[in-house]
């Protein structure tokens, strides 16, 4: 499964990374080089695979009560842009529920 | 309706997101309540500050279990959380914690009224737990979107139906019954207008008789049952037109615009989303504690459909399919009486308290008097000063003949305004029906004497004058005479031959 | 010595060794006044605590109040966390005083500390060489005598490997032994809070203080804190102790001098009564491919929160999408970018089964190798920590070649078993580490061997 230029552009978009055009060939080569080392996994017999023992404990449940973890500093101290308590971001280009 | 829609049939599946009424959020201890100033109910965890981790709220699990059980689902004792990855400013982590491969529950069903008047079992594919996102407000400040994360992390269940719905009517019935069921098991306010119940629809069209599913579109942004029904109708017609013209339906996301009453494509650049689901490594598998399972089973309440059927069986209350007309959807008496648990409870309390069991009377009084009052005053039946005990007493008085129906309505009005004792009120207002044979006979005699011409004609065989004479007796008695007995007395005079 | 004296001493030492930008660059952020004030508070306490006034440092990917938490990245430049990591709180509660945040590879992705946005950290033994990574700054801080205890984090060996490169002790406990709450996530199922110590006992003390269930971390195991310091008294007679020497960790091409130093340590253990046994962990060679699928995959998801919305760097753009891309591309360095791309790819539609799912399945086989070895009667395994000593800056330009540094350490992260590195000698004057691996939750056995090696080698470990 070779990674192509279009693959790199597609995954960069999924990951919200802007890759300059001149860096794409280098990344294609590097990703292919790395993934080539993973090919060895294809031929491994995984019929005996089972989840590791320590992963089978159940997730702990917490009680439905507060208090929440307190913030030692107000949100405004670390937020890039706030107004009247809202976090502000540039207006979405579309209005819809998710941007792909 | 165009010929096109006749040769096709509509296939609909609904994905419903329901907010669970926990005190705190799914994965942190912030309040899950409504109405706080923006971002006040946030903490490092739900703000997704670097280094924070989720811990699951046990009450979210309990409520999800109740809902899934009420929907008849098979519960997976071990289920797994997964990350659904995408970027959006109201999704702080850049992923939503949800469930994918191994959800909490699967394979349930919900019975609804079908379009043909009978019942229809709609399959429930799965019920799973996930967290809500925050809110994006686009129009508050120019050029920017304002983000409020108070809602981010509130626990949700997603209920996915099989594509078993075949019409906007059925979609409406499904949502009505689902909402009712969720209120009955007390897991959510399930209010579409407030956003505690949200619906996405998957709709496709196929030629009648075909077994395979057509390409579906996803329709979002419907905030009411009628909105869902209108949107489905419009999108279905659009698809039929495309197919009838020999075209292919494109898979895409559509949005309902209630203001413009239209369905339009969402302007997103790529087709389907790649959420890159993988098991959430910060949570271990959810294993349902045995005591939760036992409690769910032992505490399961009678569900709406069962209650309606029981009201019909035990009390003879009508439970037929809703009538649909120009004035809208007419609910059966059973539906009205069970529309909330509290109403159903009230009804049964009345029946229990009645000396003369008369469930139909109880039902009529509730529906015509109490519900009207409740709706007019934005109240619940249990807020009324007319308690079940008082209403029972009232129906008993009518049953015994001590009050006419008209008189009873007057007593009801007094009870509703200021409570009290029905018999005492009736006596005070002089409403108790006179049933003493002697008194009634005297009034009959007086009327016959005062109206000799009519009396003679009546006694001579003109039966149709009976009503007039009864009316005169009622007038003379100021409405207190028992009309039944008066009728009997009069007809008795005829057969006795006058005098 | 009072806390104030100890802390002042730490700061003096920082100046002497030039811990900042113009020198070793192992300490990114420190605040002398704040640390001295904390020290005064410790001195005023009635109960001093097990870490009474002891200065410590933590890697810059631990959330701390006061000092910034940048994870060695431009995207968190200047970010001060409004809450503290559980480990940091526990160290403070025990009487410790935080005296600095240490340099690291950006978001813990690296094996040399060359990938920090704040410049590389240098190996105090030979500043022309890397200290190792990703926790290079903490290793260098301990090696140069600034502090005796420092926290780092491990995902593929990021504490053991720098410990080996810098000639100090590095411990990765069992997965879940120490709370990750407040450790900025890189790869959640592989991340461990880990500790450096000048000697074995320092690391043991640190472990005892930070270990234990934390209700804020769902993966934190609910077991008692292991009494590892008690193993110090059990090192003279090792009769009955069985130590495995896995052949896969002593491959043909391993530098024979490194192998010799490890075998010397084993001989010393044998002379005290331990049995050394040849064992095999057949899936060892698959560790790097598995690691470099699982870790980037989880990282690509964990780093999605760095989007310029709620904290950290924001670079403007025309509209939301442009802001995301400008912020993330401007904020992340090339290695992080590469791993996010790789991780996104292996999780994406059509590739999930072949890559991520398959890697997790092979991972369970690696874990099974360890289980089988311990079930067969071995109490601990002994191996080299790294295939080479510290290399020169710029020596590993090829990303995959850099990944191969983790070849002996990544297995323990994948399996979750505890592992640690102790100095076993020098090659060309550069420190070499021997690695001890024990069974799940068996830190006591691991520390027993570590104390024994340290005791048996004495000054030879640093010669």
Task: Convert the pLDDT of each residue in B442-471 to its tens digit.
Answer: 988 999 899 999 888 988 888 888 888 999
What are the residues facing B108 on neighbouring strands? B124
pLDDT value at position B146?
97
If one compares A47 and C435, the residue with the highest pLDDT of the two is C435
CA dist A11 and C435 (Å) reads 38
pLDDT value at position B8?
93
Q: How many Å lie between the alpha carbon of A47 and the closest alpha carbon of chain C?
A: 9
B290 in A contact zone (CB under 8 Å): no
Quick check: B10 pLDDT over 50? Answer: yes
B239 within 8 A of B214, measured Cβ to Cβ: yes
Question: How far are the Cα atoms of B201, B398, B436, B487 from residue B431, in angstroms, in the given order?
Answer: 57, 11, 14, 19
C310 in A contact zone (CB under 8 Å): yes
Q: Is residue C181 domain-resident?
A: yes
Nearest to B85 among C219, C301, C320 (CB): C301
If one compares A1 and B493, the residue with the highest pLDDT of the two is B493
Whether residues B253 and B378 share a domain: the answer is no
Contact partners of A by the rule of 3+ C-beta pairs under 8 A?
B, C
Q: In chain B, what percentage of residues exceed pLDDT 70?
A: 97
Kindly list the residues from chain C whose CB atom is less than 8 angstroms away from the CB atom of residue B52: 181-182
Interval B21-68: pLDDT, tens = 999 999 999 999 999 999 999 999 999 999 999 999 999 999 999 999
Whether residues B408 and B455 share a domain: the answer is no
Confidence of residue B1 (pLDDT cuts 50, 70, 90): very low
Closest CA to B54 of C175, A46, C62, A61: A61
What's the pTM value of the predicted model, to 2 decimals?
0.93
- Helix or strand or coil: residue B342? helix
Whether residues B423 and B286 share a domain: the answer is no
If you average pLDDT over residues C228-234, what whole number do you get? 97
Asked if C364 lies within 8 A of A50 by C-beta distance, the reply is yes
Q: Is residue C112 domain-resident?
A: yes
Q: How many Å lie between the alpha carbon of C373 and the closest alpha carbon of chain A?
A: 15
CA dist C241 and C252 (Å) reads 27
pLDDT value at position B272?
59
The complex's ipTM? 0.97
Whether residues B90 and B126 share a domain: the answer is yes
List the domain range (segments joined by +) for residue C44: 3-217
B60 in A contact zone (CB under 8 Å): yes
Asked if C400 lies within 8 A of A37 by C-beta distance, the reply is yes
Q: Is residue B332 domain-resident?
A: no
Quick check: C139 pLDDT over 50? Answer: yes
Question: How far are the Cα atoms of A1, A7, A36, B274, C456 from residue A4, in angstroms, in the given order?
Answer: 9, 5, 14, 18, 55
Nearest to C349 among B54, B147, B274 (CB): B274
Confidence of residue A96 (pLDDT cuts 50, 70, 90): very low
Nearest CA in chain B to A52: B284
The verdict on whether C134 is a catalytic residue reads yes
Asked if B55 lies within 8 A of C218 by C-beta distance, the reply is yes
Worst-scoring range by mean pLDDT, A51-55, B241-245, C73-77, C86-90? Answer: A51-55
Q: Is residue B94 domain-resident?
A: yes
Q: In chain A, what percentage of residues exceed pLDDT 90?
A: 70
H-assigned helices in C191-350: 200-210, 256-271, 287-302, 320-331, 334-347
pLDDT value at position B492?
86
pLDDT value at position C39?
98
Confidence of residue A100 (pLDDT cuts 50, 70, 90): very low
Nearest to A41 among C83, C290, C304 (CB): C290
Asked if C365 lies within 8 A of A93 by C-beta distance, the reply is no
Quick check: B268 pLDDT over 90? Answer: no
If you average pLDDT over residues B142-163, what whole number do you get? 97
Please count the residue pairs, one from chain A and one from chain C, whose beta carbons lie less than 8 angstroms apart. Answer: 166
Q: Is residue C143 domain-resident?
A: yes
C239 in B contact zone (CB under 8 Å): no
Q: Is residue B36 domain-resident?
A: yes
DSSP string of C245-275, one letter each residue: EEGGGS-TTS-HHHHHHHHHHHHHHHHTTPE
Q: In chain B, what percentage of residues exceed pLDDT 90?
A: 75
Quick check: B381 pLDDT over 50? Answer: yes
C218 in B contact zone (CB under 8 Å): yes
Contact partners of C by the rule of 3+ C-beta pairs under 8 A?
A, B
CA dist C428 and C459 (Å) reads 16
Residue of C89, C116, C134, C421 marked catalytic: C134
What are the residues facing C392 on neighbouring strands? C129
Worst-scoring range by mean pLDDT, A65-74, B424-433, C203-212, C259-268? Answer: B424-433
Closest CA to C80 of B307, B201, A76, A18: A76
Confidence of residue C130 (pLDDT cuts 50, 70, 90): very high
Strands C242-246, C380-384: pairing is parallel
Q: How many Å lie between the alpha carbon of A89 and the closest alpha carbon of chain B?
A: 5
List the domain range (segments joined by +) for residue B124: 3-292
Q: Is residue C37 domain-resident?
A: yes
Q: Is residue C118 domain-resident?
A: yes
Confidence of residue C301 (pLDDT cuts 50, 70, 90): very high
Interval B206-224: pLDDT, tens = 999 999 999 999 999 999 9
Total domains in chain C come to: 1
Asked if B269 lies within 8 A of A58 by C-beta distance, the reply is no
Quick check: A54 pLDDT over 50? Answer: no
Total domains in chain B come to: 3
pLDDT value at position C317?
86
Q: How many Å lie between the alpha carbon of C337 and the closest alpha carbon of chain B?
A: 16
The verdict on whether C396 is a catalytic residue reads no
Residue A97 burial (CB count, 10 A): 16
Whether residues B123 and B196 share a domain: the answer is yes
Whether residues B239 and B372 share a domain: the answer is no
Whether residues B212 and B131 share a domain: the answer is yes
Question: How far are the Cα atoms of C98, C377, C456 from residue C240, in angstroms, in the given order?
Answer: 41, 10, 18
pLDDT value at position A52?
53
| Domain end marker among B393, B428, B463 | B428
Asked if C188 lies within 8 A of B281 by C-beta distance, the reply is yes
Whether residues B130 and B188 share a domain: the answer is yes
Question: C residues 10-49 near B, CB within 8 Å?
Answer: none
pLDDT value at position C240?
97
Quick check: A53 pLDDT over 70? Answer: no
Q: Is residue C26 domain-resident?
A: yes
A45 within 8 A of C368, measured Cβ to Cβ: no
| Domain end marker among B411, B428, B445 | B428
Kindly list the residues from chain A whose CB atom is less than 8 angstroms away from the CB atom of residue C319: 90-93
Residue B345 burial (CB count, 10 A): 15
Whether residues B377 and B483 share a domain: the answer is no
pLDDT value at position B4?
55
The verdict on whether C59 is a catalytic residue reads yes
Quick check: A99 pLDDT over 50? Answer: no
Residue C109 sits in a domain whose CATH number is: 3.90.1300.10
Question: How far are the Cα atoms of A90, A95, B136, B143, B146 from residue B139, in angstroms, in the given order?
Answer: 12, 10, 9, 8, 8
Average pLDDT, chain A: 87
Quick check: B197 pLDDT over 90? Answer: yes
Q: Is residue C400 domain-resident?
A: no
Residue of C10, C30, C35, C59 marked catalytic: C59
Nearest CA in chain B to C63: B51
Q: Is residue B324 domain-resident?
A: no
Asked if C289 lies within 8 A of A38 by C-beta distance, the reply is yes
List chain A domain ranges.
Answer: 5-42
pLDDT value at position C444?
98
Instruction: Tell me the torsion sign for CA atoms A11, A15, A20, A25.
Output: negative
Q: Which are the contacts of C45, defined by CB distance < 8 A and separation ≥ 6? A: C95
Q: Is residue B50 domain-resident?
A: yes
Whether residues B159 and B249 share a domain: the answer is yes
CA dist C117 and B401 (Å) reads 93
């Amino acid at each position: 499964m070779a990674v192509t230029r279009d693959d790199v552009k597609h995954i960069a978009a999924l990951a919200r990374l802007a890759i300059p055009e001149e860096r794409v060939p280098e990344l294609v080569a590097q990703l292919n080089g790395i993934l080539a080392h993973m090919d060895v996994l294809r031929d491994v017999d995984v019929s005996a695979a089972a989840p590791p023992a320590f992963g089978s404990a159940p997730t702990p449940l917490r009680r439905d009560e507060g208090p929440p973890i307190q913030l030692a500093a107000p949100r405004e101290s670390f937020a890039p842009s706030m107004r009247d308590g809202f976090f502000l971001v540039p207006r979405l280009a579309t209005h819809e529920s998710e941007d792909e | 309706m165009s010929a096109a829609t006749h040769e096709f049939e509509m296939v609909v599946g609904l994905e419903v997101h329901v907010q669970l009424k926990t005190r705190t959020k799914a994965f942190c201890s912030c309040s899950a309540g409504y109405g706080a100033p923006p971002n006040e109910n946030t903490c490092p965890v739900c703000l997704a500050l670097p280094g924070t981790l989720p811990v699951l709220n046990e009450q979210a699990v309990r409520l999800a279990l109740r809902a899934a059980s009420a929907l008849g689902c098979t519960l997976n004792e071990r289920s797994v959380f997964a990350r659904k990855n995408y970027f959006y400013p109201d999704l702080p982590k850049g992923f939503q914690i949800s469930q994918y491969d191994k959800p909490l529950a699967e394979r349930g069903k919900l019975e609804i009224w079908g379009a043909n008047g009978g019942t229809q079992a709609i399959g429930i594919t799965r019920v799973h737990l996930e967290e809500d996102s925050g809110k994006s407000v686009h129009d508050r400040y120019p050029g920017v979107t304002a983000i409020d994360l108070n809602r981010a992390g509130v626990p949700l269940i997603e209920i996915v139906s099989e594509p078993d719905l075949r019409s906007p009517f059925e979609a409406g019935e499904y949502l009505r019954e689902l909402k009712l069921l969720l209120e009955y098991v007390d897991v959510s306010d399930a209010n579409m207008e407030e956003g505690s119940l949200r619906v996405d629809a998957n709709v496709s069209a196929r030629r009648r008789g075909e077994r395979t599913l057509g390409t579906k579109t996803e329709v979002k942004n419907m905030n009411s049952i009628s909105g869902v029904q209108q949107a489905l109708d419009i999108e279905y017609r659009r698809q039929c037109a495309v197919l009838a013209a020999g075209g292919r339906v494109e898979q895409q996301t559509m949005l309902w615009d209630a203001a413009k009453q239209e369905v339009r494509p969402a302007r997103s650049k790529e087709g389907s989303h790649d959420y890159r689901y993988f098991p959430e490594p910060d949570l271990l598998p959810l294993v349902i504690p045995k005591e939760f399972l036992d409690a769910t089973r032992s505490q399961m309440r009678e569900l709406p459909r069962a209650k309606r059927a029981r009201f019909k069986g035990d009390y003879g209350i009508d439970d037929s399919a809703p009538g649909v007309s120009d004035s809208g959807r007419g609910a059966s008496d059973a539906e009205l009486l069970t529309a909330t648990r509290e109403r159903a409870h009230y009804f049964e309390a009345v029946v229990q308290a009645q000396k003369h069991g008369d469930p139909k009377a109880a039902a009529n009084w509730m529906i015509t008097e109490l519900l009207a009052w409740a709706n007019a005053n934005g109240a619940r039946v249990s807020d009324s000063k007319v308690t079940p005990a008082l209403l029972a007493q009232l129906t008993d008085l009518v049953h015994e003949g001590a009050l006419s129906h008209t008189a009873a309505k007057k007593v009801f009005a007094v009870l509703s305004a200021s409570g009290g004792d029905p018999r005492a009120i009736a006596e005070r207002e002089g409403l108790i029906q006179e049933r003493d044979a002697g008194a009634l006979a005297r009034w009959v005699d007086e009327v016959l004497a005062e109206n000799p011409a009519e009396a003679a004609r009546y006694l001579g065989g003109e039966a149709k004058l009976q009503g007039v004479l009864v009316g005169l007796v009622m007038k003379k008695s100021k409405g207190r005479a028992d009309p039944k007995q008066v009728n009997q007395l009069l007809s008795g005079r005829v057969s006795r031959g006058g005098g | 010595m009072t806390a104030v004296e100890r802390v002042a001493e730490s700061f003096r030492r920082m100046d002497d060794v030039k811990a900042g930008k113009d020198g070793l660059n192992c300490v990114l952020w420190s605040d002398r006044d704040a640390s001295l004030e904390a020290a005064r508070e410790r001195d005023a306490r009635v109960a001093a605590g097990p870490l009474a006034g002891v200065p410590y440092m933590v890697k810059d990917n631990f959330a701390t109040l006061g000092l910034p938490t940048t994870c060695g990245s431009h995207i968190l430049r200047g970010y001060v966390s409004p809450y503290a990591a559980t480990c940091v709180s526990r160290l403070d509660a025990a009487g410790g005083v935080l005296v600095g945040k240490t340099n690291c590879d950006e978001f813990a992705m690296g094996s040399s500390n060359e990938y920090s946005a704040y410049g590389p950290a240098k190996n105090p033994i030979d500043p022309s060489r890397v200290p190792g990574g990703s926790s290079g700054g903490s290793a260098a801080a301990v090696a140069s005598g600034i502090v005796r205890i420092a926290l780092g984090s491990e995902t593929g060996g990021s504490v053991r490997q720098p410990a080996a490169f810098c000639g100090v002790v590095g411990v990765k406990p069992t997965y879940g032994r120490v709370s990750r709450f407040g450790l900025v996530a890189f790869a959640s199922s592989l991340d461990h809070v880990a500790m450096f110590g000048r000697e074995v006992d320092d690391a043991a003390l640190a472990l005892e203080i930070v270990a234990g269930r934390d209700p804020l971390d769902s993966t934190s195991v609910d077991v008692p804190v292991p009494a590892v310091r008690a193993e110090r008294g059990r090192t003279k007679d090792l009769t009955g102790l069985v130590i495995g020497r896995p052949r896969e960790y002593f491959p043909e091409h391993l530098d024979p001098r490194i192998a010799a130093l490890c075998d010397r340590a084993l001989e010393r253990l044998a002379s005290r009564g331990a049995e050394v046994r040849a064992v095999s962990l057949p899936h060892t060679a698959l560790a790097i491919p598995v690691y470099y699928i699982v870790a980037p995959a989880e990282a690509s998801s964990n780093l999605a929160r760095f989007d310029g919305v709620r904290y950290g760097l924001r670079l403007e753009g025309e509209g939301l999408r442009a802001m995301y891309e400008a912020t993330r591309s401007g904020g992340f360095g090339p290695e992080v970018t590469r791993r996010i791309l790789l991780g996104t790819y292996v999780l994406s539609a059509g590739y999930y089964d072949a890559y991520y799912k398959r890697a997790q399945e092979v991972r369970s086989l690696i874990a099974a190798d360890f289980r089988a070895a311990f079930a067969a009667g071995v109490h601990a395994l002994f191996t080299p920590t790294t295939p080479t000593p510290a290399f020169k800056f710029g020596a590993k330009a090829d990303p995959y070649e850099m990944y191969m540094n983790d070849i002996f350490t990544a297995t323990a992260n994948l399996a979750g078993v505890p592992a640690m590195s102790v100095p076993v000698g020098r090659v060309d004057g550069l420190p070499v580490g021997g690695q001890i691996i024990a069974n799940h939750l068996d830190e006591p056995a691991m520390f027993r061997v570590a104390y024994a090696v340290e005791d048996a080698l004495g000054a030879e470990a640093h010669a």
